Amino acid sequence: MSTCHEMRNRLLMKQSGEYEEGLMGPLAEHLASCAECRRFEADLAHLSAVAPTALEEDAPLRIRRIEPRSRPMPFPLSVFWGRPLMGTAAAAVFLVALLGLRAVLFRPSLPPDDDSSSLLLASLPSRESLLREWQYWMGYGAGNAGEHAHPMPLIENGWSPSEMAQQLLIFEGLGPDVEWGVEEIFWVEEPFVFPQDARAIGSSSQQVV
């Protein structure tokens, strides 16, 4: 069997023109004694004659377009070449765009920020507004208007203003810990007297009952 396999390989290579003439002797000897390999050779010859025609298909489309070796002039040049007025206008637009780009790219750099996190920097104004709102509700909105407003300590229990703002966000359901309760937010102590019926604080859109 392995001899037949090898001999058929040789038949294939003979048919493709890759078979070396010096090895023809063993192949001829094998073919003389093996009817199945002779049949294989005949079938191979038959298929080689018939299959290319049977499988052949005309390409239905011509090549759409052969890319030219010499490429056309780029669009701006081809349009403006030979038209001085349009060329001048285009140059002016280009110059203005270049100056604008320069102004953007080479503007004075901002002073270095203590907080390296750009995300934190971006969110700082909202925290400030929350703090102002906090002060308003604690000092004014809850009934202590005007000059009687209780001075609001911004740092209590070792919290920084940003931590307080964070707690406000949590209170409004925006923070990671939604379990954080009202009682824990309201850590303000005497002498501030909180109205008894006030149970919630928050942004100005929230109703105080």
The interface region with other proteins, picked from 54-62, 83-91, 142-150, 171-179 by CB under 8 A, is 54-62
CB of 26 to other proteins, least distance (A): 16
Q: In the bound complex, what is the minimum distance in angstroms from residue 34's beta carbon to other proteins?
A: 15
In the window 11-40, what residues touch other proteins (CB under 8 A)? 12-13, 16-18, 40
Q: How far is the CB of 74 from other proteins (least distance, A)?
A: 18
- For the CB of residue 63, give the shortest distance to other proteins in the complex, in Å: 5
Give whichever of 12 and 198 is closer to other proteins, judged by the CB atom: 12
Q: What x-and-dash track marks residues 63-82 binding other proteins by CB under 8 A?
A: xx-xxxxx------------
| C-beta of 56 vs 177, nearer to other proteins | 56
CB of 81 to other proteins, least distance (A): 22
Which positions ≥6 away from 72 have C-beta within 8 Å?
A: 78
User: How far apart are alpha carbons 27 and 19 in whole angstroms?
Assistant: 11
- Residue choice 3, 5, 81, 175 for contact with other proteins (CB under 8 A): 5
- Render the chain in DSSP notation, one character per residue: -HHHHHHHHHHHHHHTT---GGGHHHHHHHHHH-HHHHHHHHHHHHHHHHHHHHH----SS--S-PPPSSPPPPHHHHHHTT-HHHHHHHHHHHHHHHHHHHHHHTSPPPPPPSS--HHHHHHHHHHHHHHHHHHHIIIIITS--GGGPPP--S--TT--HHHHHHHHHHHTT-SS-TT--HHHH----TT----TT-----STTSPP-
The binder of other proteins chosen from 23, 24, 47, 92 (CB under 8 A): 47
- Distance CA(5)–CA(7), nearest Å, equals 5
Our finding on whether 57 is near other proteins (CB under 8 A) is: yes
Residues that bind other proteins (CB under 8 A): 5, 8-9, 12-13, 16-18, 40, 42-44, 46-48, 50-61, 63-64, 66-70
